[in-house]
Amino acid sequence: MRYAKIRLLIVAGVLALPALQAQPKSAKASAAIDLSGYWVSVVTEDWRWRMITPAKGDYASIPITPGAKKLADTWDPAKDEAAGEQCRSYGAPAIMRVPGRFHITWQDDNTLKVESDYGMQTRLFHFGIWTAPGGAPGWQGDSAARWEIPRNRVGTGSVAREVEAQGGFGSLTVETTHIRPGYLRKNGVPYGSKAKLTEYWDLNRETNGDQWLVITTLVDDPEYLQEQWVTALHFKKEANGAKWDPTPCSSKW
């Protein structure tokens, strides 16, 4: 009888544990890494397709379908501009590839805001339980985000303390859907309405104090890609926004 009571108490304690531990912290408060600040894209890869608008028909490196090629072959930047569609190459699957600067801030405790100076776009990463507003898709789509906490940060042991002492580690996973169809590349390589974007944001600190943000990007598009388009980009943290240079979208340049 006595053991039965003890067993009952332990079971009750274990069952109550999640409630005791579940002190809801906001995404901002529980951030695995601090991404806030100004970041500059350092263009050391795909330079010819990012820094300048490539020629019509230049589709190197993108695993496009014949249907995508056919559509891209009809690209007409003047027509896009006249139709007010000059932001087609600044949608979520392409915006981080533009040569520009990005300003990251918290819009509120559970929404991370990423602004670009080139194209003047705003991405909103929603953490936790969030319901998309619906309606017509926008260039930046609907983004759900979550922190990925390294395994060795879990717990209260000496390993966790050591990791914390280094400033914390982890990454950000962002999944974006409901994106307005646009271009993966400035010269009209298309993505369609079913495109899905998955991103992994990692922060690496160097011994000289430099901070590098690395974004691994996966684009799935059953309509226009033969296979998942996999790329990785890097951004260097800047001390301030002195070089922030808002520039509107352009389909010609």
Q: Is 144 in the site for other proteins (CB under 8 A)?
A: no
With CB under 8 A as the contact rule, the residue among 2, 5, 14, 129 that binds other proteins is: 14
Contact 68, 194 (CB under 8 A): no
Distance, CA of 218 to CA of 156 (rounded, Å):
34
Q: Is 52 in the site for other proteins (CB under 8 A)?
A: yes
Q: Is 59 in the site for other proteins (CB under 8 A)?
A: yes
CB of 15 to other proteins, least distance (A): 10
Q: Is 58 in the site for other proteins (CB under 8 A)?
A: yes
CB of 24 to other proteins, least distance (A): 18
Query: Using CB under 8 A, which residues numbered 223 to 252 contact other proteins?
Result: 226-234, 236, 243, 245
With CB under 8 A as the contact rule, the residue among 19, 60, 136, 242 that binds other proteins is: 60
Query: Using CB under 8 A, which residues numbered 65 to 124 contact other proteins?
Result: 66, 69, 99-101, 118
Q: Is 61 in the site for other proteins (CB under 8 A)?
A: yes
Distance, CA of 66 to CA of 179 (rounded, Å):
22
Distance, CA of 82 to CA of 177 (rounded, Å):
27
Distance, CA of 181 to CA of 88 (rounded, Å):
8
Q: Is 175 in the site for other proteins (CB under 8 A)?
A: no
With CB under 8 A as the contact rule, the residue among 31, 35, 39, 54 that binds other proteins is: 54
Q: Is 63 in the site for other proteins (CB under 8 A)?
A: yes
With CB under 8 A as the contact rule, the residue among 24, 134, 157, 209 that binds other proteins is: 157
Q: Is 155 in the site for other proteins (CB under 8 A)?
A: yes
Q: Is 64 in the site for other proteins (CB under 8 A)?
A: yes
Contact 183, 207 (CB under 8 A): no
Closest to other proteins by CB, 104 vs 137, is 104
